[in-house]
Chains A and B, each alone.
Chain A
Amino acid sequence: MQKIPLMLAKAGMKLSRDVFRGNSPIGIPICGKGTELTDALIARLENMDIHTIHVEGHPVWVDGERSFDDYLSELDGRFSKTLHEPLNVMLYDIYKAHLIKSMGGGSDLQAE
């Protein structure tokens, strides 16, 4: 999941969180999670003054942002003391899988 400014939203992206009017969870829900964005929908969200949305995967890369490899090497570093413990190995694998999924899962990231 990635939080992006609406300006960078493109048709075809999928919402990973509900969108509420006024960007507040007590506002009226406008659009449910799982909805695929279209140009018309993006224009409507713009009219409703929505500034940011959460989308599935990690479709937008901004300059200076840490890459998948950066995140992975940080994860490796955090677990470097406990990878002989079976429970921690399990946890490491779960977090690694989660990282792959949240960074856009599947496509070019896993290709290597």
Chain B
Amino acid sequence: MTYKRSDLKKIIMDTKTLPTLPVVINKLNSLSDDEKSSVQEMSRIVSSDQVLSARILRLANSPSYGFHRVSTISNAMILLGVNVVKSLALSSSIFAIMEKESVGLWEHSLGVGVAANLIARKLGLPECEEIATAGLLHDIGKIIISLKCSEAEKDIFELVRERHIYALEAEKEIIDTDHTEVGGWLSKSWFLPDKLSEPIAFHHDVAKSHNHRIKTAVVHVADVLIKASGFGNSGDSFVPPIQKIAWDTLKLNEQLLVELVDEIEDKLVEVKNFSLEMMSD
């Protein structure tokens, strides 16, 4: 069974049936673009969402930040920074969609988010939190394919198993598009910024990323590393090649890669515990 690309695009772009982002994120986005808005205004909006508030306070009080007893949202926002809070809001709402869909893909995405963060920090890149969010969201297209065309998804899995090919190839054959393009459409309809939408759309073809190639390269490498590690389940059984252009863009070398693998594997132990904890909630 094949699906027409244009039909699919229509289904996906049909905003009425698309999982929508919580109002809170859109409000936060518009407020943070407006120079006149204050942290107080933003924290009022965040406070209206209790789950998000709890997560922000939990993060602000976590040992990795080293602050003690942060009890108000506005203090947490000042300490963490508005961008961190926005990333958190975005990723926690997308998790809500993803969590129920597929544990394996959820773990894979979590792993790539963590790996992207570690790579960005190691290389001393700016906007590590955003890069981590991009890593977390990079396979959002797969979620949408699974939500919108679950029949096609089954066919894709079968083809991957039968012919030992990459999911990307199977997607092209069955639905005449792939999860990166679908992710790109979705980022447009959600008005995500380029620094998120480019890694989502081009993490399998870094050369196509023009404005945020470094971020895209980080997400690409993180994706390859997590697949190499065998952590979670992305739907792919094979490690894709590391793209030369990504390697060169990030100026990686063997020594860095050895250190990164060590750090990532160490962190993944925690990620696995976290994932088990979330699943048992």
CB-based closest 3 A-B pairs: A87-B242, A81-B238, A85-B241
- Per the bound structure, the CA–CA distance linking A92 and B61 in Å amounts to 38
Q: Number of residue pairs across A and B with beta carbons under 8 Å? A: 62
What are 23 A-to-B residue pairs whose CB atoms are below 8 Å? A25-B63, A26-B61, A54-B269, A77-B237, A78-B237, A78-B238, A78-B239, A81-B164, A81-B166, A81-B239, A82-B240, A82-B241, A85-B241, A85-B242, A87-B241, A88-B241, A91-B242, A91-B261, A94-B254, A94-B257, A95-B228, A98-B261, A102-B265
Minimum CB distance partner of A2 in chain B: B269
- Per the bound structure, the CA–CA distance linking A85 and B244 in Å amounts to 10
- Per the bound structure, the CA–CA distance linking A110 and B217 in Å amounts to 35
Answer whether residue B20 sits at the interface, using C-beta atoms and an 8 A cutoff.
no
- Per the bound structure, the CA–CA distance linking A77 and B237 in Å amounts to 8
Q: Mark B251-276, 1 if CB is under 8 A from A, else 0.
A: 00010011001100110010000000
A87 touches B261 (CB 8 A): no
Answer whether residue B81 sits at the interface, using C-beta atoms and an 8 A cutoff.
no
Task: Given A77-B237, A79-B239, A88-B241, verify A95-B269 contact (CB < 8 Å).
Answer: no
Answer whether residue B224 sits at the interface, using C-beta atoms and an 8 A cutoff.
yes
Answer whether residue B40 sits at the interface, using C-beta atoms and an 8 A cutoff.
no
A78 touches B261 (CB 8 A): no
Instruction: State the interface size on chain B (CB cutoff 8 A).
Output: 27
Answer whether residue B227 sits at the interface, using C-beta atoms and an 8 A cutoff.
yes
Task: Given A78-B230, A79-B228, A98-B262, verify A88-B239 contact (CB < 8 Å).
Answer: yes
Please indicate the chain B residues that have their CB under 8 angstroms from the CB of A94 in the complex.
Answer: 254, 257-258, 261
Task: Please report whether the interface of chain B is mostly helix, strand, loop or mixed according to DSSP.
Answer: helix
- Per the bound structure, the CA–CA distance linking A41 and B230 in Å amounts to 35
Q: Hey, which bits of chain A sit against chain B, CB under 8 A?
A: 1, 3, 25-26, 54, 74-75, 77-82, 85, 87-88, 90-92, 94-95, 97-98, 102
Answer whether residue B71 sits at the interface, using C-beta atoms and an 8 A cutoff.
no
B257 touches A91 (CB 8 A): yes
Of the listed residues A54, A74, A81, the one surrounded by the most CB atoms of chain B closer than 10 A to its CB is: A81
Please indicate the chain B residues that have their CB under 8 angstroms from the CB of A74 in the complex.
Answer: 230
Q: Hey, which bits of chain B sit against chain A, CB under 8 A?
A: 61-63, 164, 166, 224-225, 227-230, 237-242, 244, 247, 254, 257-258, 261-262, 265-266, 269
Please indicate the chain A residues that have their CB under 8 angstroms from the CB of B164 in the complex.
Answer: 81
A17 to chain B, nearest CB (A): 8
B101 to chain A, nearest CB (A): 23
Task: Given A3-B269, A75-B230, verify A87-B244 contact (CB < 8 Å).
Answer: yes
B206 to chain A, nearest CB (A): 13
B247 touches A87 (CB 8 A): yes
Please indicate the chain A residues that have their CB under 8 angstroms from the CB of B62 in the complex.
Answer: 25-26
Task: Given A91-B257, A94-B261, A95-B261, verify A82-B269 contact (CB < 8 Å).
Answer: no
Of the listed residues A25, A77, A95, the one surrounded by the most CB atoms of chain B closer than 10 A to its CB is: A95
Please indicate the chain A residues that have their CB under 8 angstroms from the CB of B224 in the complex.
Answer: 91
- List 20 additional contacts besides A81-B164, A91-B225, A94-B254; criterion CB under 8 Å: A26-B61, A74-B230, A75-B228, A78-B227, A78-B228, A79-B228, A81-B238, A82-B240, A85-B241, A87-B242, A88-B239, A88-B241, A88-B242, A91-B224, A91-B228, A91-B239, A92-B228, A94-B258, A95-B228, A98-B261
Of the listed residues A54, A80, A90, the one surrounded by the most CB atoms of chain B closer than 10 A to its CB is: A90
- Per the bound structure, the CA–CA distance linking A81 and B165 in Å amounts to 9
Please indicate the chain A residues that have their CB under 8 angstroms from the CB of B228 in the complex.
Answer: 75, 78-79, 91-92, 95
- Per the bound structure, the CA–CA distance linking A7 and B167 in Å amounts to 43
